Structure 1
Amino acid sequence: MTDLTPSSSLPRTVVPGGIVDPVASARAELKAALAAIEIKGNVPRRLEQASQRGIRRTRAFAQRNPIGAAAAVAGVAAVVGGVVWVIARAVSR
């Protein structure tokens, strides 16, 4: 998902073409570079977007295949339970 400016359909990280003035061109390049750095460097925002995508995909899968979703939940629960059991057993020895 790219961030779009309200005035155009170009992403914020693209330098618009047709700029003749070298100062305006440099400003546009700097603005695009800073926007790209902000997008790449904003890890909490990227994690939020990735988790929202994962939630949407999981819900869509559960609606398409409820038995498969139940099996996946049971499998994950079994794996987590097994890991907890192994850790508890190792700690108790």
Structure 2
Amino acid sequence: MSVDRPVPVPVPRTGVALGLTDPVESARAELKAALAAIEIKANVPRRLEHGVTRVTAKARDFRRKNPAGAAAAVVGVAVAVGGIVWFAVRTYAR
């Protein structure tokens, strides 16, 4: 069984729908898409939130799969931060 009518495809928030023949509607849709794209790029707190969420999920997954490796990573980061602080204090004290 085939369907003769086209299947509607969802348009992304930053895209312009095909088939707009009215130039005013087309310009309005392009402006709306451009403003949405600018908002996505310029909204730094939202982008940081998504990045932190993604990294947190990866860290939790790594901890679940490899607990010893996660513990070693925590110790390694603690040693690195301690070394940097020690070096900074030592340099400042001289």
Q: Structures share a fold, TM > 0.5?
A: yes
Q: Which runs of 5+ in 1 are unaligned?
A: 1-7
| Letter of the 2:27 counterpart | A
- What is the Cα deviation at residue 11 of structure 1? 1.6
Is residue 82 from structure 1 mapped to residue 83 from structure 2 by the alignment? yes
Gaps spanning 5+ residues in structure 2: where? 1-8
1:81 alignment partner AA: G
C-alpha offsets along residues 21-65 of structure 1, whole Å, 9 cap, x if unaligned? Answer: 111000000000000000000011101110110000000010010
Deviation of the 1:10 alpha carbon: 2.2
1:28 aligns with 29
RMSD: 1.0
- In the superposition, the TM-score normalised over structure 1's length comes to 0.89
Q: Work out the CA distance in 1 between the residues paired with 2:52 and 2:32.
A: 28
Map of 1:52 onto structure 2: 53
Which amino acid is 1:58 matched to?
A: A
Q: Percent identity?
A: 60
Greater gyration radius:
2
3-state SS in 1 of match to 2:17? coil
- Name the SS for the 2:19 alignment partner: coil
